[in-house]
Structure 1
Amino acid sequence: MEDIAKAAAATFAAIGSLYLWRRSRLAFVRAMRDVVTEAQMKPSETSYFDRDSSSEIAKRTISLTSSAIVLSWAVGFPVSLTCSRAARSTGHMTAIIASLWFGPIVESPAGIFNRVKNRLRELWHHPMGAVRELIVAPIAEELIFRHALLTILGRRSPRARICISAILFAAAHIHLITNNAVESCRNDVSHLTHTYGVDSASNILSIDEKRTELSHRAWAAAKRQTGTQVAMVFLYGLLCGWVYEHCCERSVTAAVIGHSLCNFTSVPPFFFLRRNCGGKKSTMSVAHRVVSGVAHLAGVVGAVALASAKAE
């Protein structure tokens, strides 16, 4: 159990480093105490916290990078592979991820094209966000949650250490619940302001019952959103841990590129499982749903086959 305790301590130390910054820490505490008050803060206020601002991204970059360097130094820096082996591992990782996207591409080629186009536009207009999602987070998280944690858990069986590291990787994202709650509440406050005007909205928000209702709604939405995020992160942790251990010769480069690709593409839309899309009833026919479901399954089977073939 000592190795699990060390891995857990390393995980929470890395996440805790994000809250060494005063503004981040105060925003977290304020949201836990009164999410409505936090949501009502204006950007002009000195204590306003915007997780996606350039300054906050820079601070989190410093924290995550420092944690990754310290943990890598503690367990030993990754062994460098030859260029050919690193390229082979990276290509294998890319093929596995591409296989997982076979279903979404078959389901809606135009939708995937628009998704990629919109994602590129979003990252182009928010370069610091692009740096965070495509460079800093993949490098730091792979060094921490794959290299460092799997090294700390090295005495355990491959399956055990992959599962434990995936659980810790998912647990490390639970703190996002406060951000999700604040964003949900801000949307509700914005809707009230747009519907009733600034003065009337302020009067409504001064009523304790209404504030309690908004708070409960925000936390309920945050729990659902965070639960989904944590579940997807756990599944990704299992996938990436397996690929890192068995397919990529413990190549951090391959893991980082795979992580970056996943951050860029985000979670597949799974339209074939939805009854409603964008607030409207889905018009997807039964035949289209069946074909899409089969394509998704084929993509998963292909990814598993690619991983298993290399593992053997």
Structure 2
Amino acid sequence: MNERGDATTGTAEPMAGGGTDPETEAFLAHRNLLFTVAYEMLGSAADAEDVLQETWLRWVKVDVGQVRDQRAYLVRITARRSLDRLRTMKRRKEVYVGPWLPEPLLTAPDVAEDVELAESVSMALMLVLETLSPTERAVFVLREVFDVGYEEIAAAVGKTPAAVRQIAHRARRHVDARRPREVVSPGQARAALESFQRALETRDLQGLLDVLAPQVVLVSDGGGVKQAVPRPVTGAAKVARMIVSGLGKARLALTTEPTVINGSPALVLRVDGEIDGVIAVRVEDARITGLYYVRNPQKLTRIASATSLTLR
């Protein structure tokens, strides 16, 4: 980063007069929004930070005085860079060892209170977005999450506004068919998670069966670095027995700690005092329908301090 500022940490070097230059001020004013756009398109905080760096390098070459809407301009740059990276990531995921889950983020309480934001970054919806093509995902995120106009989206993805409308309709229909049927309150999600936590800590098979929905799906991401279930496991009985059997064989000192990941209640699991992974859940009708266990150490770097997210 040059003398204008640091796009990664969100800080800026002061100018001689004690302030910052217009480019830096504009970028920092929208930095949290740009990160949220990139993260929702990519599902990776590390890649989102790289996109912000690329956005910054492009932004400092722009004559800011000629930009009518700085927010829209910055979002467009970020979307373009994210789409390019998303296409590259698609190839990386094809050779990824085992299931791929989004990188979990520790989020502040205000994210959980913003229902729209919390749903948009939830592990459940982020996984649904993984089933879209790169262009469909870009269009869906920009239109449905950030309410960007069709002409702006067209400029970002290199399509006509008419084509973007068709893509948006197709992506919306695809997502609506797969997203959770209802948005549960943080209190309902916490209640289900607390029941799961008690059953997990006590190795209570019946307790797990009581809180897991009949068709619950367990997805585990070890990235080839840590042992994980090689493919999703479906069904309450199978999932519960696998959990209890695995804990029984391991004979390790397991502790669980409630936290808020991607705007929703979650658990941090520690084995012998060391962080083993993060479990996020999808809750419907007061029961858990999705368990997402991220163990890949490379994806656990953003659970120590909160990440600021915003839709505005």
Relative to the length of structure 2, the TM-score reads 0.28
Name which one, 1 or 2, has greater alpha-carbon Rg: 1
The structure with higher relative contact order (CA 8 Å, sep 6+) is: 1
Greater helix proportion: 1
Greater strand proportion: 2
